[in-house]
Structure 1
Amino acid sequence: MENQDNHSFPFENADVADDVISLKDLLERRNILLKKKEEIIRKHNDHNQPPLQSDSKPSSDNILQQEQNHDITSEFNTFTTLLSTVPTQRENKITPLELNVNVVEHNDGLDFSSDDSVADPSYVALSDITNLKPLSPENMEWFPEREIEEKSKTNKKKRKGDQKNWKRMKNKRQRMLGEEYIGFKKDGFKFIQNNPKPARIMGPICMSMRCFSGKAMYCSKLTEEVRSEIFKTYWKMSWQEKKMYVSSMVDQIPTTRKTKGSNSRRSDTKKYFLKVNDKKERVCQKTFLETLGIKEWTVRYWLGEKMNKSEFEPEQREVIVKEPKKDLAKKYLIALPKLPSHYCRQSSSKLYLEPIIQSKSQLYRLYVDYSVSRNEPVASRKVFEGALFEENIAIFQPKKDACDQCCAHKAGNISDAQYTKHIELKDLARAEKSSDKEAAQKGNIHAITADLQAVKLCPCLNASALYFKTKLAVHNFTVYNLGNNRVTCYWFDETVCDLKSTTYATLFVDYLTKLIDDDPKDVVIFTDGCTAQNRNNIVSNALLRLAMAKNIVITQKYLEKGHTQMEVDSVHSVIERKLKNREVFLPSQYATITKEARKVPSPYEVITPDFTFFKDFGLKDYLIYESIRPGRGAGDHCVVDIRALRYNPNGTIDYKLHFTHNFTPLPRRPKKILSIDSVPSLYQSRQPITTTKYHHLQELKSVIPRDCHNFYDNLPFK
């Protein structure tokens, strides 16, 4: 015992915490225990002696050495027991530390017996435990927070891959843009992506005599710059946009003559077009394909045709391929009659079904009946609407009537030469309007467009009582200033004035007088060619008198029949949308709704004239030219052939029969100009309506608010 006291462990009284709460406490406790261990190993090395021989007798020195070793072994057992308790202070939270020492576990704890010899299979020499690394965050074997840390690292959200950088996606994108890419090639029963494909290039233009000598084709007028721009624009599109472009640029017309009888595979005639300066110009098939850099098979496939190889290779066995439901739906849509887009929008490639079909539900029901009658599979509503979208077809009722000449040409009733002349006049009129619009925006002239909105009815509401009753007609004459986008609307009902030439003359004179007084400069008017409304001697004489009074030049230009889309039409469209689902009980409500229809750049100006507003410009003494017809005898040009009229301050009128011609004096002798200070009023009182209409309106008072009854009671009637 004395030796034990003399060799007591120097850290025996060290402050070793029993309650390990944090990682810092665990590190401090372990550092103390490791220092203790190092001290034990050092003592062992100092007192270590060679092992005794079995036949030798123990000497007094050996006995002393064994006692000292026994003391050290006891201290080591004490240290090991203390070290083994480090991870067990907080059960279920800290697992045992992995030591570089073999420990034999028993149910009653750790046991280090004194028979430490080479014969003991669990014997570990003390020298084997001297390779412990210093405890640090870099080389610690285990601690709880590290396990949590490693677990959080493994559960960390991985960075998502960018599909744009995938090789296959790059190839698909390059193929869509017409660049070089690596395509697939069949190798046995597999497809391998190892087939390099060249970039798309624009081919040569067609040099046939039919394209260059005839007037129907635009091939000879196409320049390489225009073709290159079309090619570049086309290959910037997505596949869906390319398909829509080709579908809109190729017209399919049923064949009018079968040259091979019933065995002919040709079911239709295709007409190819290219868009040049926002206009569709007809070209031949070769020019179309070479300009876009595509093949005929691509066009046929996109138009819904399935080209069966057996038709082109008769010696091969015929293979029957069932068409998908979506392709059958597309065939049905392609076969339906459609209206060209210019009847509905000036710059649109969308095709519109005829107004007979009112909704998608009705169209789908017709498709189902058609497919059932032919024993064909029926696509679902979703698949059918997808085909409708891909074919760029919409259901829309045009606001204007279709052009008679365009319809006649499509039906084959007029020649290509007549149709080409018609389209040329349309393009010239639009180019003229664009040019004058630019001049007006620069402040050089005034340029306006004017038109009458479709007749509105009053009262207007969803009541069955209105279906069989006549109602009051309300009119809106609209003027759109192309220079500053200002709009003026003249709202009046049939009791104020009816529609005649002097009515429009009064409206033109009133608007232009205010316009010129604010900013005196020349005026250009664009209208349609309606003879009763815009192209007649009453309106012309009124504008001529105004030009003389204000000492300015007024030019009136007429758009081509069937293609009279103007900026003023957008005003009517906005008003129509504002009137949707609105109840109108009085004509004055139309004026109120019009004021609310637009906010930017400025609200619409609304004028509600009464019967005293309208003047009688049709008086014989007021007319300087009794007629504006450019010809005199039979077969000469008529009023409808005039494309432009110019009213000069000197009291003369010039005209044009073609926009490319110069103005020519009207071959009519003007009368002596009389000075008329004021034009008399057209009416002295409100215009009466028919007795039947009056009684019908009285009957409709049952669905009209009481505060509106007074207006209908005071209506004049015959």
Structure 2
Amino acid sequence: MKQNDYYLFTDEKPGGSSTKAVSDESEESDSSEGSTTSSSSGNSHEEDSDDSVLDPNYTPVDVNSRNNQLPDELLELAESDESTVDDRRKVKHSCQTKKQGKKRVAKPEDWHKNKAKRARNSGTSYITSSASRKKFPERKMMPPCTQKCRLKCSTKISEDDRNKIFGDYWSLKDLQRQRDFLLASMVEIKPKYRYVKENTTRNRSHNNAFYFEINKEKIQICKLFFKATLGINDRPIRTVLQKRTMFSGQMITEDQRGKHGKHAKIDDKIKDGVRAHINSIPRIPSHYCRAGSSREYIEGENHWQTCIEIM
């Protein structure tokens, strides 16, 4: 099969000189191709080695001298960018050093005892701030006195007027103003006669008449109707009468409970001793907090033992 292919390629019979010539020519062509590839590869390496191969007049340019040849505007822009970056770093560093933790702000209006006080003064349901956590229902207007009342209060004041008085009283939402309302609704009456027992020095106390103002007219009512309309008991009335007696018929300007200024205080020497003990404990900054954190932690595993030894 090889000889037939060879004959087709040469178109001559075997044994002639032409066959040898063809083979010699093929060898020469192979050798010439090899030389050309080697020379081309060598030339490519030489061409890639430096730009001076293509341009014999090429001269390298110094980078520093090239930067000097930049326009002045570009140089000023680059310098301004560097300055702004430095300024930002300085500002960031100063912010990190001055940054402190956010302290909580006291909000007395959100305290549980103050919420309970406002609810109690407004007549709504509330839960006491004591440990018992007792729940009190909202204030409601109670039934009036019966028809057997000597003053006939139910015939003088209608239910709509009672509801209005009830709403006006609890809408004050202030204990002092509610006491002023009670004081303005009571009038002291001296008894016309009194029975004196033998061997006693006790005199009969003064009576009090109760009034509601309807359409700028004062209408006298009984004590039961007065309490039922306002939804209160005897205690606020008794408190107002005691304060009126103590202050010559005038209410005290403001409730002074908790405002005596004699609260228990801790001595400053004790506070300074506690601070000195805390500062004597060896501490280290935490590696897990942020850079601006001021928290410190006790060093070592047996930190409780260290605190006891320092004491």
Calculate the TM-score normalised by the size of structure 2.
0.48
Calculate the TM-score normalised by the size of structure 1.
0.22
Structure with bigger helix share is 2
The structure number with the bigger radius of gyration is: 2
Greater RCO, CA 8 A, separation 6+: 2
